[in-house]
């Protein structure tokens, strides 16, 4: 996985770090039951995770003052993936003093299992921890920025960044899938050209005609042909 980060000092003081990442692995994340809405509105279900009551109260107050009433809080990150599946939030805000590797590993599991915007608030940090958090799938990493008046703009930035990167990830997956299907069809055409003495256009036309006759996708017919050919070669 390659990671790009961009950090800036906001006018109110906190350092905001936004993540841009491109996942080259074959693991596909599962979305939760509801899609993220097209705009950041007050109907979003927000999950706040913080072990410290005072910090948790600041986040809750900031969200409620901004009009977000559908807020659920957790005082522990234990069994986080299971809890997130059960609660089904739209956005996740997690507040930590200093994130440990165990917590970052949990965030990685969350981001791979469920696609949701994640903002992490910390008091102090360093470049290595920021990069680890971004690699774990955190959409926004906020250092020393836990003030209730900053909660809404940070939430909006988190959702906006998540949507942008999720679109890139979806486009990448679609491109990879299309390329894979094209390779399969090309291989099937090659088999027909060699075994039946057809040119490329005739081989493609035969595949297409077969797919239409069987009510299948062209790539499925191509995969079936390749499987049969490989079996006969054994």
With H, G, I as helix, E, B as strand and everything else as coil, classify residue 122: strand
Domain end point (choices 172, 190, 220) = 172
Task: Answer for the pair 138, 112: CB distance below 8 angstroms, yes or no.
Answer: no
Q: How many CA atoms lie within 13 A of 186 on its CB side?
A: 6
The pLDDT value recorded for residue 131 is: 79
Residues 198 and 160 placed together within one structural domain of the fold:
no
Spatial contact of 3 and 21, defined as CB atoms under 8 Å apart? yes
Task: Take residue 62 and report the two structure tokens written for it.
Answer: 């900031």
Q: What is the pLDDT of residue 36?
A: 45
Strands (DSSP E) contained in the chain are: 2-9, 15-22, 46-49, 71-74, 91-95, 118-122, 140-143
Same-domain check for residues 196 and 132: no
pLDDT of residue 98: 67
Classify 76 as helix, strand or coil.
coil
100 and 31 together in one domain: yes
pLDDT along the chain (234 residues), means of 10: 40 42 35 46 84 85 88 81 84 78 74 80 76 78 76 85 85 92 94 92 93 94 91 77
Cβ 34 vs Cβ 116: under 8 Å = no
Quick one: 111 and 53 in the same domain? yes
Total count of domains within the chain: 2
Instruction: Pick the last residue of a domain from 119, 142, 172.
Output: 172
Residues of the domain holding 206: 174-233
pTM, whole model, 2 decimals? 0.60
Q: Compute the distance between CA of residue 144 and CA of residue 125 in angstroms, rounded to an integer.
A: 9
| CATH classification at residue 107 | 3.40.50.2300
Decide: helix, strand or coil at residue 118.
strand
Please provide residue 219's backbone torsions phi and psi, each rounded to the nearest 5 degrees: -65, -30
* 216 shares its domain with 141: no
CATH of the domain at 186: 1.10.10.10
Same domain, 160 and 199: no
CB 90 within 8 A of CB 45: yes
Q: How many residues does the chain have?
A: 234
Q: What is the CA radius of gyration of the chain?
A: 24
């Amino acid at each position: 996985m390659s990671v790009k980060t961009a950090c800036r000092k906001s006018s109110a003081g906190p350092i905001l770090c936004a993540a841009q990442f491109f996942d080259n692995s074959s693991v596909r994340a599962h979305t939760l039951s509801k899609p993220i809405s097209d705009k950041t509105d007050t109907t979003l279900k927000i999950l706040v995770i913080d072990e410290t009551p005072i910090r948790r109260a600041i986040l809750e107050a900031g969200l409620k003052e901004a009009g977000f009433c559908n807020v659920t809080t957790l005082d522990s990150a234990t069994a986080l993936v299971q809890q997130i599946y059960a609660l089904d939030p739209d956005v996740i805000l997690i507040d930590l003093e200093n994130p440990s590797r165990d917590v970052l590993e949990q965030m990685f599991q969350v981001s791979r299992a469920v696609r949701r915007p994640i903002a992490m608030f910390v008091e102090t940090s360093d470049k290595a921890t920021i990069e680890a958090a971004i690699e774990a799938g955190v959409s926004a990493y906020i250092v020393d920025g836990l003030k209730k008046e900053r909660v809404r703009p940070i939430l909006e930035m988190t959702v906006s960044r998540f949507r942008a990167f999720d679109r890139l990830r979806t486009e990448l997956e679609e491109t990879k899938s299309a390329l894979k299907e094209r390779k399969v069809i090309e291989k099937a055409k090659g088999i027909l050209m060699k075994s039946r003495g057809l040119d490329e256009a005739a081989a493609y036309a035969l595949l297409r005609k077969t797919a239409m006759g069987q009510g299948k996708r062209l790539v499925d017919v191509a995969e079936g042909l390749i499987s049969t050919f490989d079996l006969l070669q054994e």
